[in-house]
């Protein structure tokens, strides 16, 4: 097993201990380390209060002081450092009414959602596991810390977190956790859409996504998800998903391809997606619509932003024909230009060719036409060739 990722974090633990505080690794990083899975963000839990942490380290970002969390930066890495705490009351189902800082690691572990996430590890790699999280990991089981119905009632998002962990880790829900979850759907109404979307994105990106989807359907949690809740047909279509999605935009494109009268804007609004995700999904959807008629051609690859190529491949493979990254790369390499900036003619050249015409959108239209002709190999990307063509051949309404 790899201890390396914890190396920088160990320095933080040492520093906190040197000042007389307790400090441990905790949460997803310890869980993933024990599973032997790649570690994501590293969380640290400590008896030091946020202001004390701020005094000890040079680079500290106060991300959630009221909940006891700051980010400590060290050699380019970020560590989420949270003060031992217990939580009381969840009347708004989002944030605990009160956060009380405590001195006791065990109390801090008790407030955590699942036993596999309630394991602490000290700087020597010693495991502190009062809730048998390790056993749950070995059995590949998701158990709440304490009574499932109470824990879900405190924060119903935990239900969705359970399913996304099933999808990421190939773990099953223990009987009581499953039963409470299957009964708890109504509580989902209390959680904000933004929090739901974050967990859904992780669920659909999980390597065991079919498991996550099966649980969404079997527990009826799907009846409380935006859009799906009003559309049984869409719910059933989820069973067609067999592979994880790299990004939400990819999933969104597939959902829109399924139709069922839900547009991309409907999805984006209901899921409160960022403009960036919406724009990416639009690009992907247009590319798929175009490729259903024209297949994989230079014009398509040219227009698709490079960061979406990997998301486009599985969609194209589903809706048109199977392709690999290699196939796409060979089209990319054959492109005569990669962007309009590389066109061997400028707006000024065009204006100079038609000195009597008033400036206007026609200049841009001409450049677009030239761009398409160069990309598709109908014109060579040479200044004189392009200028000759606009002078003698260009017809504004030309449509190929
Ligand atoms: P990931 O690998 O996605 O980061 P994670 O388990 O680290 O998974 P985070 O959302 O980063 O999840 O949370 C860090 C830790 O904080 C969790 O492992 C868990 O101990 C605790 N936690 C997070 N969300 C909740 C919650 N809603 N209720 C109780 N404990 C939570
Ligand atoms: Mg984490």
287-308 per-position pLDDT tens digit? 998 988 888 889 999 999 989 9
Ramachandran angles phi, psi of 177, nearest 5°: -65, -45
Please tell me the distance between residue 117's alpha carbon and the centre of ligand 1 in angstroms: 7
Pick the closest to residue 276 from 305, 302, 245 (CA basis).
305
What is the number of the ligand 1 atom nearest to the C-alpha of 154? 28
- Residue 391 is predicted with a pLDDT of 84
Average pLDDT over residues 358-375: 91
Neighbours of ion ligand 2 (CB under 5 A): 28, 41
Q: How far apart are CA 394 and CA 171, in angstroms?
A: 63
Per-residue pLDDT, 198: 94
Cβ-contact 63, 69 below 8 angstroms: yes
pLDDT band at 270 (very low <50, low <70, confident <90, very high): very high
Pocket test for ligand 1, best of 95, 107, 112, 166 (most atoms within 8 A of CB): 112
pLDDT averaged over the chain? 91
Determine the length of the chain. 400
Mutation test of ligand 1: which of 26, 34, 37, 43 has the most ligand atoms closer than 8 Å to its C-beta?
A: 43
Q: Collect all residues with Cβ–Cβ distance below 8 Å to 10 and sequence separation of at least 6.
A: 123
| Distance from the alpha carbon of residue 218 to the mean position of ligand 2, in angstroms | 27
The pTM score is: 0.87
- The finding on whether 94 has its CB within 6 A of some atom of ligand 1 is no
Residue 141 confidence (pLDDT) above 90:
yes
Q: pLDDT band at 96, cuts 50/70/90?
A: low
- How high is the pLDDT of residue 400? 43
Q: Quick check: helix, strand or coil at residue 127? A: strand
Q: How confident is the model at residue 1 (pLDDT cuts 50, 70, 90)?
A: very low
- pLDDT at residue number 201: 94
Question: Is any ligand 1 atom within 6 A of the Cβ of residue 174?
Answer: no
Q: Using CA positions, which residue lies closest to atom 12 of ligand 1?
A: 28
Q: How confident is the model at residue 151 (pLDDT cuts 50, 70, 90)?
A: very high
Ligand 1 centroid – CA 255 distance (Å): 28
How far apart, in whole angstroms, are the C-alpha atoms of residue 349 and residue 38? Answer: 54
Ligand nearest to the CA of 79: 2
């Amino acid at each position: 097993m790899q201890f390396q990722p914890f190396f920088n974090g160990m320095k933080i633990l040492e520093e906190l201990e040197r000042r007389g505080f307790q400090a441990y690794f905790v949460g997803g990083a310890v869980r993933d380390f024990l599973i032997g899975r790649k570690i994501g963000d590293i969380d640290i839990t400590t008896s030091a209060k946020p202001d004390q942490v701020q005094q000890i380290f040079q680079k500290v970002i106060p991300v959630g002081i009221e909940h006891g969390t700051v980010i400590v930066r060290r050699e380019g890495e970020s560590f989420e450092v949270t003060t031992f705490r217990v939580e009381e009351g969840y009347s708004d189902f989002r944030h605990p009414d009160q956060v009380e800082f405590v001195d006791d690691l065990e109390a801090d572990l008790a407030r955590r959602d699942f036993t596999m996430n309630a394991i602490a590890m000290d700087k020597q790699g010693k495991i502190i596991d009062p809730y048998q999280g390790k056993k749950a990991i070995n059995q590949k089981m998701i158990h709440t810390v304490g009574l499932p119905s109470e824990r879900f009632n405190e924060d119903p998002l935990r239900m969705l977190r359970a399913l996304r962990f099933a999808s990421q880790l190939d773990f099953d829900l223990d009987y009581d956790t499953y039963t409470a979850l299957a009964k708890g759907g109504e509580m989902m109404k209390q959680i904000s859409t933004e929090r739901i979307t974050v967990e859904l994105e992780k669920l659909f990106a999980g390597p065991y996504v079919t498991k996550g989807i099966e649980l969404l359907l079997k527990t009826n949690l799907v009846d409380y998800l935006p859009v799906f809740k009003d559309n049984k047909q869409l719910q059933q279509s989820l069973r067609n998903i067999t592979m994880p999605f790299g990004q939400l935009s990819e999933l969104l494109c597939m959902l829109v391809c399924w139709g069922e009268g839900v547009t991309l804007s409907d999805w984006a609004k209901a899921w409160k997606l960022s403009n960036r995700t919406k724009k990416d999904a639009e690009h992907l959807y247009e590319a798929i619509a175009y490729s259903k008629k024209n297949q994989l051609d230079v014009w398509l690859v040219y227009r698709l932003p490079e960061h979406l190529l990997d998301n486009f491949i599985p969609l194209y493979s589903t809706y048109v024909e199977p392709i690999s990254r290699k196939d796409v790369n060979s089209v990319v390499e054959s492109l005569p230009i990669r962007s309009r900036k590389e066109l061997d003619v400028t707006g000024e050249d065009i204006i100079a060719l038609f000195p009597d015409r008033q400036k206007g959108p026609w200049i841009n239209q001409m450049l677009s036409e030239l761009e398409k002709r160069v990309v598709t190999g109908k014109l060579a990307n040479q200044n004189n060739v392009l200028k000759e063509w606009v002078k003698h051949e260009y017809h504004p309404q030309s449509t190929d």
